[in-house]
Structure 1
Amino acid sequence: MAVELLGVPAVRESQRRRDGKWLWVLPPLLLIAVLVVYPLVLVAVESAPAWGEVVGSAEFRNALLRTVQIAASSTAGCLVVGTFLAVVISFVPFPGARIVAGLVDTMLALPSFLVALSFTFIYGATGILRAGGFLASPWAVVLAEITFYTPFVLRPLLAAMSRLPRAQLDVAASLGAGPWRVLRQIVLPEVRPALVAGGSLTLLLTLNEFGIVLFLGAKGTTTLPMLVHTKGIVMFDYPGACVIAVVQIALSLGLYAVLRVALGGRRARLD
């Protein structure tokens, strides 16, 4: 009986501690509500009167199509270039390989407008190649995004390839498998999760890229972020800008959710 009585205060104290832990959830929830949820609600409310006009316009449809095209093309280019560079750095010995790998990390720290600025010195009307027509095309934006975002694919691939067992590659080579067969049947299947993760991140980033498109000023390359800037800052059409911003947010969150489900299913199959 005495043991039971002594146990009651201990149980109550443990309950109070568990209840107290939930209080620590309130500050981050409050911070998210003030800094994230409240501004999004304001944007959604401000956009209400302009949905029909904006969504039904050809300008919006063209910007949406151009945004998806540039993001998909840039991501595909990053996957190809990133995979090629990762294979060369990881499996083809050459002097300065570590320096090249270190430069990859440096690229991740640079702002995107520096790539666009370098393109003006290379392809601009007074640049090295004097290819002003190319600089004004959507392909210049795609090439600039490939240049800037390839390290986001290359870095996880380098990490994944560094963990590959070299003995497995040596055995495959000793059995007569050529380099292309080893790459296709052994290396790429092993690093596929890293490839998918890097490509997914790149797709999300290029979908919302603004600095490169703005700095290059390519004619006819109006993406959704550029359209938000034009309507909100240049034309002072805030309801129209809010409509496009809501669509951009929904598109990004929807793509993120799809990628999370796909990557979650892939991890489950791998486990």
Structure 2
Amino acid sequence: MAAEVLNLPVSNQRRSAQKAWSRSIWLLPPLLLLAGLVVYPLVLVAGQSFAGGFVTWRAVIGSAEFRDALVRTVQIAVSATIGCLIVGTFLAVVISFVPFPGARIVSGLVDAMLALPSFLVALSFTFIYGTAGILGAISGGFLTSPWAVILAEITFYTPFVMRPLLGAMGQIPRVQLDVAASLGGGPWRVLRTVVLPEVRPAMAAGGSLTLLLTLNEFGIVLFLGARGTTTLPMLVHTKGIVMFDYPSACVIAVVQILLSIGLYVALRAGLARLGDHRVALD
């Protein structure tokens, strides 16, 4: 009897080890899939960027073409994100708090926009602002300007801000709004002091996602063909597909990847601090 009692811890350890081993086996398929579809191509791109040694890196990074594309990429991404935050917040407030017929239909259209490809927005812009478009005669060269790219990205990516805002605004208790209004708060004051602080995490999450997506946007820029709007993704396409300069294209692609990962880490850290600050206030 005593020997069986002594063997119990050993048997429990074996069972724990077997469970841990079975769980680790289930991790292998997704890890192998990620390694084959994500890690391996990235390693190939990084290796190709050093095919010519550091000479290629110095030539690409030191070129005015690369610096202009980098600045233009950041400018368009930041401008489009700010526009999406403004338009998305306004539309979310109207849909959530201003009763009007068809509010559910508009909300459903927002969800439908998330499933559409970005080039459809650029295609519609050609029908509106193109030479044969509705506003082509008075738009001048708007369609081929960076402003057209920014407006097209705002049009396409605004739902990515609206969707989390609509969900967050739907969670605000109506009693809280009624109490604020009964204390003498007008609509703008209630919006500024009650609604916006409550939905700040959702706004930050939607804005962060939009910033990452616009930073890597390629289809809208390519389809519009805006003059002087060479972004980093467009420069990768030009170097690799048009000029067959694969080492330079890989260098720019690596920079784009590092920029996106760095921005993602920074945004995640900012969202985490915002969440901790919100918990502390609660």
Post-superposition offset of 1:42:
1.1
Moved more, 41-50 or 134-143: 41-50
Q: Cα deviation per residue 1:245-268 (whole Å; 9 max; x = unaligned)? A: 000000000000000111111112
Post-superposition offset of 1:68:
0.1
The answer to whether the aligner puts 1:236 opposite 2:244 as a matched pair is yes
Q: Which residue of 1 aligns with 2:69?
A: 63
1:33 to 26, 35, 55: 35
SS at match of 1:104: helix
2:116 to 110, 123, 145: 110
Q: Which residue of 1 aligns with 2:5?
A: 4
CA distance in 1, matches of 2:210, 2:90: 16
Q: Which residue of 2 aligns with 1:135?
A: 143
Q: Cα deviation per residue 1:13-63 (whole Å; 9 max; x = unaligned)? A: 332222232222222222222211111111111111211111111000000
Q: Count residues in correspondence.
A: 271
Q: Cα deviation per residue 1:172-224 (whole Å; 9 max; x = unaligned)? A: 11111111100000000000000000000000000000000000000000000
The answer to whether the aligner puts 1:194 opposite 2:215 as a matched pair is no
Q: Which residue of 1 aligns with 2:225?
A: 217
Q: Which residue of 2 aligns with 1:86?
A: 92
SS at match of 1:263: helix
The answer to whether the aligner puts 1:184 opposite 2:185 as a matched pair is no
**What one-letter code is carried by the residue in structure 2 that aligns with 1:162?**
G
**What one-letter code is carried by the residue in structure 1 that aligns with 2:25?**
L
Taking structure 2 as the reference length, the TM-score comes to 0.93
The answer to whether the aligner puts 1:14 opposite 2:30 as a matched pair is no
Q: Which residue of 1 aligns with 2:48?
A: 46
Post-superposition offset of 1:2:
3.5
CA distance in 2, matches of 1:85, 1:52: 46
CA distance in 2, matches of 1:73, 1:10: 59
**What one-letter code is carried by the residue in structure 2 that aligns with 1:269?**
H
CA distance in 1, matches of 2:100, 2:12: 66
Post-superposition offset of 1:6:
4.5
CA distance in 2, matches of 1:23, 1:94: 54
Unaligned 5+ runs, structure 2 = none
**What one-letter code is carried by the residue in structure 1 that aligns with 2:249?**
A
Q: Which residue of 2 aligns with 1:261?
A: 269
CA distance in 2, matches of 1:149, 1:187: 22
Moved more, 128-137 or 180-189: 128-137
**What one-letter code is carried by the residue in structure 2 that aligns with 1:45?**
G
Moved more, 243-252 or 125-134: 125-134
CA distance in 2, matches of 1:33, 1:222: 32
Moved more, 10-19 or 251-260: 10-19
Unaligned 5+ runs, structure 1 = none
Q: Which residue of 1 aligns with 2:166?
A: 158
Post-superposition offset of 1:5:
4.6
**What one-letter code is carried by the residue in structure 1 that aligns with 2:68?**
N
Q: Cα deviation per residue 1:225-250 (whole Å; 9 max; x = unaligned)? A: 00000010000000010000000000
Give me the identity figure in percent. Answer: 74
Post-superposition offset of 1:11:
3.3
Post-superposition offset of 1:139:
0.1
Taking structure 1 as the reference length, the TM-score comes to 0.97
CA RMSD, 1 decimal: 1.1
Post-superposition offset of 1:132:
4.4
Post-superposition offset of 1:168:
1.0
SS at match of 1:177: coil
**What one-letter code is carried by the residue in structure 1 that aligns with 2:111?**
D
